[in-house]
Amino acid sequence: MLGETPDNPVEEPEKADDKKKRKSSRRSSEASSGDFIWSTETGLPIDYGPWTVEGPHPPVGRKSRLAGVGRLVRDLVEIGIFALLLFIGLRLVVQNFRVEGSSMEGTLHDGQLILVNKASYFKVNLGFLDVIPFVHVDDSSHFLFGGPGRGDVIVFRFPNQPDRDFIKRVIGLPGEQVAIKDGLVFINGKALDEKYIPDRTQHDFGPELVPDGEYFVMGDNRNNSYDSRSWGFVPEANIIGRAWVSYWPFDSFGFVSHPSIQPLGTQGNSP
């Protein structure tokens, strides 16, 4: 009948202008809430790069700047601590040394700067391994990389004045008999072939027995060296390390020579 509302009313088509207004209103509402505006066609935010939130970035406040300064200070402190630990670690294994005098001429010169490897003669006591079943180790200390050998150039504390450091070459090992006669060095009656020395010694010495745990040392410049011939032997505990690298002057840069010297025979008149 006329004038009555039908049971199933038909909605009038929405005007284009009303639809645009409602869509624009929804965008504004979503933008004000900080949400993304997604396109139903592409699945990406409309008019914004991926993962970009609507609205301008908030200004950097005082707290943000302080946080940045705090991170910088923390990074600098961490770098400083790391550098300090690295320096301490290096000092435990390497030490610089300045050669004074001419006793090592032919190999090292007065004023030459070298690095000394203190780890070369590290010792370790393996007695703690006795706790392992079926393992027996004596309580004595052992060289980790091998002890001082004949021909090694070593830096050590002078036995008669421990606050002074000397540098010499190891010639006699513990338990060996050392003698010098007619310019030749004899170990247990056998002469050494020492090609690295500029001149043979002019004075005889010994024979002398090197005590256990001590070493007989001499300078390469035999006629101008204050060494074991004058003041005795070097205790193992006084050895600082093995001469490693020469770094100044630059033309002498390189590894310090440590020739292996073994008794060759009874050349000359054995003492």
Q: Given this model, what pLDDT does residue 59 score?
A: 54
Catalytic site includes residue 103: yes
Residue spans per domain, the chain: 14-58, 94-265
Q: Given this model, what pLDDT does residue 2 score?
A: 42
Catalytic site includes residue 120: no
Sign of CA dihedral 261, 265, 269, 271: positive
Q: Given this model, what pLDDT does residue 62 score?
A: 64
Q: Given this model, what pLDDT does residue 31 score?
A: 47
Q: Given this model, what pLDDT does residue 178 score?
A: 95
Q: Given this model, what pLDDT does residue 158 score?
A: 95
Q: What is the pLDDT along the chain (271 residues), one digit of tens a residue?
A: 444 444 545 445 555 555 555 655 555 554 444 444 555 555 555 554 444 444 455 555 566 666 777 777 777 887 887 777 766 766 667 888 999 999 999 899 999 999 999 888 877 766 555 556 655 555 567 666 678 999 999 999 999 999 999 999 999 999 999 999 988 999 999 999 888 888 888 888 989 999 999 999 999 999 999 999 999 999 999 999 999 999 989 888 889 888 878 777 655 555 5
Buried residues in 209-220 as b, exposed as e (16+ CB within 10 A): ebeeebbbbbbb
**Residue tagged active-site, from 24, 64, 102, 103:** 103
Fold for the domain defined by 94-265: Umud Fragment, subunit A (2.10.109)
**Residue tagged active-site, from 118, 120, 168, 228:** 168
Q: Whole-angstrom Cα distance, residue 50 to residue 40?
A: 15
Q: Given this model, what pLDDT does residue 114 score?
A: 94
pTM of the model: 0.64
Q: Given this model, what pLDDT does residue 3 score?
A: 43
Q: Whole-angstrom Cα distance, residue 216 to residue 147?
A: 14
The CA-to-CA distance between both ends of the chain, in Å, stands at 148
- What does DSSP say about strands 153-157 and 165-172: parallel, antiparallel, or unpaired? antiparallel
